[in-house]
Structure 1
């Protein structure tokens, strides 16, 4: 198992957790509003049950303060055009995915167990097929270190 980093300012902040993010692409014909409704009302509750069963400590759509982190195509198109005008960031572009889900765990084994659960394939992946391009996703994994939370500095 990879060595886990510890917060630098002692035990006043929680232990750093392993964070796995999955960036999904919706199918091109799927309406943005219908997609957001399905993901938050159907997919999220199903994922939570399986994630909880395998000891995943936190699951979110990468935005704790809002109910979801779903990127509607009209917003992505608008900011893509705006970014071309920003001269200080000429190589920047908006990520092309439509939704990001993040899972926090204290071990990679728990994440692997969640993904190997038969319900993951039979419920989660099967339920995504009418909505999400299940042939591709961009994923990230690493330790989640919080430096500012609720206005307080941590991990100094």
Structure 2
């Protein structure tokens, strides 16, 4: 199972609150069924507002400077899970992507600063159970 992870920054002219609200209430409904149509079996948003990062930084200091000093400042990330990378490519070629998804992404994501990773995940504990 492949995973495309987009480490996202919000547009600089958008508040954190507006970013997270838009991503959850506007963007997710526009893309969920669309992504599934192309074989994407998982779509997860991971929200990391500054207040959570600040709290985590204070609590992680007990693990040493690596944990507290290297906390990334992304506003969140999205994970797309799929059996083949072609699923993502086919979705991006659909006219719906160009007409609906891309303009919406441009309304709240800062693509110049955001980053993408691609790989696979290996799960060793799931639902509290060892695998």
Do these two structures clear the TM 0.5 threshold for a shared fold by scoring above it? Answer: yes
Partner of 1:89: 65
The structure with the largest helix share of the pair is 2
2:28 equivalent to 1:21:
no
Query: How far apart are 1:77 and its partner, in Å?
Result: 4.2
Query: How far apart are 1:113 and its partner, in Å?
Result: 0.9
Query: How far apart are 1:78 and its partner, in Å?
Result: 4.8
Partner of 1:72: 49
2:97 equivalent to 1:113:
no
Distance 1:90 1:58 in 2: 31
Which aligned pairs between 1:97-136 and structure 2 lie closer than 5 A? 97-136=74-113
Query: Runs of 5+ in structure 2 lacking a partner?
Result: none
2:24 equivalent to 1:47:
no
Distance 1:47 1:38 in 2: 13
Larger radius of gyration: 1
Distance 1:129 1:87 in 2: 37
2:128 equivalent to 1:148:
no
Distance 2:13 2:52 in 1: 17
Paired residues of 1:19 and 1:104 also in contact (CA < 8 A): yes
**CA 34–116 in structure 1, closer or farther in 2 if over 3 Å, else same:** same
Distance 1:130 1:111 in 2: 21
Query: How far apart are 1:117 and its partner, in Å?
Result: 2.1
